[in-house]
Amino acid sequence: MTPQMIFLMFFGGAAVWFGIVVFRTLSMVRSALALLFSQTAVGVMFLLMQAEFLGVLQIMMMATEMSVMAIFMVMFMMDPGGMGAMDMTHQKRLSLWAGGIGFVAALAVIWLADWGPANLQIPDATEQTAELGRELLGRSMFIFESAALMILTAMVAATMVAIHPSEGRKR
């Protein structure tokens, strides 16, 4: 058992624990930041597995995304601070089943898929970044560009929904 594996298990455990905290707290801000720390722990796991660019990117992107999510949760939830002790969960049975089936499916994929032999020759961080760039601007460019366009459309649509019609005119 190498120190790398011990740290990997520690941060994996942290990711799962913060994931549980998301549902244990009533405060929307705590919930959002718990999800952030869960994702940050996943980012640290990337770093431990020597995927430097992906790890740093994960740690960076999640901070922003979860903070933005926090303010939306505060805006739309009835008891954002959790001080009124309102139960904001619903469809518990369905969620449990969906979560359970998802968990089993993920485990099945992990155990049954043929992952091929492990790559023992890990390229250094500079080479990884360069290869990622080639991948994103080459073979996978179409996928990423179409995803980007979809996200942009969703953002514009969300903004349109959020703006009250009477506020549309120029001030």
Partner 1 sequence: MTVLIVLVALAVGAYLVAVLESWAVHGRLEPARPAISALALLGRESLLARTPDRLFFEAGPVVLLLAGLLAVAVIPLAPGLIVTDLATGALFLNAALAYVLVALIMAGWGPNGAYAMIGGWRFLGQFVAYAMLIVMPITAVAMRAESLSTVDIVTSQSTLWNIAYQPLGFVLFVAAAMGLCWLPPLDLPTARGDLAGGIEAEYTGARLAVLRLARMVLIMALAGATVTFYLGGWLGPWLPAWAWSAIKIFFVAGLMVSVGRLVPRVREAQYLEISWKLGIPLALANIFLVGVITLVVPI
Residue 73 makes contact with partner 1 by CB under 8 A: no
> What's CA 103's distance to the chain center, in Å?
16
Scanning 60-68, 92-100, 143-151, 160-168 for contacts with partner 1 by CB under 8 A, the matching segment is 60-68
What Cα–Cα distance (Å) separates residue 83 from each residue in 21, 24, 80, 153? 17, 14, 8, 36
Decide if residue 41 touches partner 1 (CB under 8 A): no
| Cβ atoms of residues 61 and 151 within 8 Å | no
Stretch that binds partner 1, among 66-74, 97-105, 112-120, 162-170 (CB under 8 A): 66-74
Phi, psi at residue 134, to the nearest 5°? -60, -40
In angstroms, the CA 163 to CA 165 distance is 6
**Judged by CB under 8 A, does residue 126 bind partner 1?**
yes
Binder of partner 1 out of 15, 18, 26, 27 (CB under 8 A): 27
Interacting residue ranges for partner 1, rule: CB under 8 A = 27, 29-30, 33, 36, 52-53, 56-57, 59-60, 63-64, 66-68, 70-71, 74, 81, 83, 124-126, 128-129
